[in-house]
Amino acid sequence: MPPLELPRYAPIIDVNVHLSRWPFRRLPDDEPERLAKRLRDQGVASALASSFDGLLHLDLGEVNRRLVDACASKGQGVLTPVGAVNLALPNWESEVRWCARTPEVVGVRLWPGYHDVGLDDPRFDDLCAACAEESLLLQLVMRLEDARTEHPRFRSRKVELAALPDLLRRHPRLRVILLNPGKDVSAEAAGKLAQAGNLYFDIGMIEGTGAIGLRRYLTPALAERLLFGSHSPFFYFAATTLRLHECQPKERDLKGILHANARRLLDRPR
């Protein structure tokens, strides 16, 4: 099996990276300059970056301002900010409005399993309406790590997606990316969910090799909904490239995952 040389498929769009510090240990490349260099060296032209601070900090206005500043001053033209939103906090609407008014910000990222606000909560419907109206991309993090390695005082809940199809149908302009869905959303379930609207999936946590790994998701219904997400710096960048290497996708599908699908999603005017 010949090695997969990603730089020759550049420019790559990575839809899943985080800045700042993971609360429970240091990670490789957890400084924005080092992360940006790592991504550039791998052929990444744009990486959608939010902040780990969005998990626990209460002042998300300050979190998002730091994020935008870090992307601008240390991102080497690679890091694109995605604002952090926590629906459990008061005045979350103001953070969405700030993101919509800030031209560098392309969307908002939520961690529902950590903030205990389900997709069936009325606040979530309000958020979807706001994102659709403001043409903000909505990223939902399904999980950040395997449940077996979570800190005992910081365990996430499974994100239930039963309400998502109705939300997508109710807000047809809404664009949603599920980040790290591989452990929780099977290929069959992903195909059914995608029929409801503009729903995309990154490949950062899809496990298994060959026919039992990423290849299961390369169906006619899903191939154009898959995006490259490295989950850096929590995961090594090479982990995601290895998934692609083992899968050996067709040239068209590979280009779609690496940049074409994301470009089509992101090129919609604000």
Q: How confident is the model at residue 245 (pLDDT cuts 50, 70, 90)?
A: confident
pLDDT at 166: 98
Range 231-239 average pLDDT: 92
Mean pLDDT of 47-61: 97
**pLDDT digit string (tens) for 169-221?**
999 999 999 999 988 899 999 999 999 999 999 998 887 655 468 889 999 88
Residue 25: is it exposed, middle or buried by C-beta count within 10 angstroms (0-12/13-18/19+)? Answer: exposed
Has domain 12-146+156-266 been given CATH number 3.20.20.140? Answer: yes
Domain ranges (residues) in the chain: 12-146+156-266
21-30 tens-digit pLDDT: 988 889 989 9
Question: What is the pLDDT of the chain when averaged over all its residues?
Answer: 92
What radius of gyration do the chain's Cα atoms show? 17
95 and 83 in contact (C-beta within 8 Å)?
A: yes
Q: How much is the pLDDT for 242?
A: 86
Cα distance from N-terminal residue to C-terminal residue, the chain: 43
pLDDT at 213: 80
pLDDT beyond 60 at 2: no
83 bridge partner residues: 108
Largest alpha-carbon pair distance within the chain?
A: 53
pLDDT of 3 > 60? The answer is no
pLDDT given at position 205: 86
| Predicted pLDDT at 4 | 59
Q: Report which of residues 71 and 157 the model is more confident about.
A: 71
Average pLDDT over residues 216-228: 94
Question: Which pLDDT belongs to residue 201?
Answer: 98
Per-residue confidence (pLDDT) for residue 148, from 0 to 100: 84
More confident residue, 217 or 248: 217
Write the pLDDT tens digit of every residue in 69-123: 999 999 999 999 999 999 999 999 999 999 999 999 999 999 999 998 999 999 9
CB 7 within 8 A of CB 222: no
